[in-house]
Amino acid sequence: MAVVEFALFLASLLVLVKGAEYAVRYSSRIARAFRISEFVVSFFVVSFISCSPEATVSIISAINGVPEFGLGALLGSNVADLALVFGIVALFSANGVKVKSQILRNDLFYLVLLLVPIILGFDGHLSREDGLVLVLSGVAFLGTLAMQSHLFRKRYNNAKSHEWAGNFLLLVLSLAFLVAGAYFTVRFGVDFANSVQIPPFLVALTMVSIGSCMPEMIFSLKAVRAGHDSLALGDVLGTVIIDATMLVGVLALISPFDFNPNIVRVTGVMMFFAGVLAVMFIKSGKVLTRKEGLLLLLFYLLSLAVEFWVNGAI
């Protein structure tokens, strides 16, 4: 039975990831068709939909009464984005990857934002008041980002505006697959975890989190292999902050909940230190070398080992 549940879980996760991938593609095309600025396309459209897999999983988890699963997916995907994605892309690059980070100039402010969910959730409980603080923290981040929109003055003037209707229908279809994939990912993920007697949030912070970061990893690897030296991997931290503040806050606003404090005390702390490492490598347009990529990858493997050891799964 566990084998069947695992197969159904993987199939659901694949639908979730592909739904997100196509949602990013078609939403970006719609934005460009209306000649929206590069700033809106690159962050407010693409980044928001890029975090839609874990966002949808977390919301459905809260509605289904298993918010721990969603919390594990959110924080676990953040660690994967910052350490696994950065690490693998650097390892597959020939001479290192030049990381652009025009958005993330207030490094200390963004790292402090990553501490907010750790501080609020350290006792193993998130109330609606905590959720409100987290959402407002995310709003503060978006406000700061909006004030930097002058960094992205380019507009897409060569887009075909008449194509928006077809892309809109494809976007709706992609979102439908994304939601369906998220629903069954939660359902079969929890069933599989119960069958093999491990905490469901471990499934979320490993397999779900790795799966949800696949679109940006695949995109980055293709760019490296195509010989593009400049990748905007630094902007991944922006998506991480949205996950850690606004989306965790939405979980608490939907339904305040108690959870295993190790999710925050271990996964949250690992997320923060992964953010510190990422900022160190992103800062000042620094080249992310293979050695640094290997360090990030080892950090990710260490974080997984610590997670399973603390929770008695190994």
Confidence of residue 308 (pLDDT cuts 50, 70, 90): confident
Q: What percent of the chain is modeled with pLDDT above 70?
A: 76
Structure tokens at 226: 């195509």
More confident residue, 11 or 145: 11
Q: Which domains does the chain have, with CATH numbers?
A: 2-310 (1.20.1420.30)
Question: Can you tell me the distance from the alpha carbon of 271 to that of 44, in angstroms, rounded to the nearest whole number?
Answer: 23
Question: Can you tell me the distance from the alpha carbon of 140 to that of 136, in angstroms, rounded to the nearest whole number?
Answer: 6
Average pLDDT, the chain: 79
Task: Give the distance from CA 137 to its chain's centroid.
Answer: 17
Question: Can you tell me the distance from the alpha carbon of 149 to that of 132, in angstroms, rounded to the nearest whole number?
Answer: 26
Q: What are phi and psi for residue 65, nearest 5 degrees? A: 85, 15
Angle (CA) 265-55-134 rounded to 5° is: 55
Q: Among 285, 295, 275, which Cα is nearest to 116's?
A: 275
Report the pLDDT averaged over residues 251-277.
Answer: 89
Report the pLDDT averaged over residues 245-264.
Answer: 88
The answer to whether 47 touches 246, Cβ cutoff 8 Å, is no
pLDDT of 201: 80
Q: What are phi and psi for residue 125, nearest 5 degrees? A: -145, 140
pLDDT of 228: 55
Residue 178 has pLDDT above 70, yes or no: yes
Tell me if the pTM is above 0.85. Answer: no
The 3-state DSSP class for residue 195 equals helix
Q: What are phi and psi for residue 229, nearest 5 degrees? A: -80, -25
Give the helix ranges, DSSP H, for the chain.
2-33, 38-39, 46-50, 52-63, 67-79, 86-91, 107-120, 128-146, 164-195, 200-203, 209-212, 214-225, 236-242, 248-254, 262, 269-282, 290-310
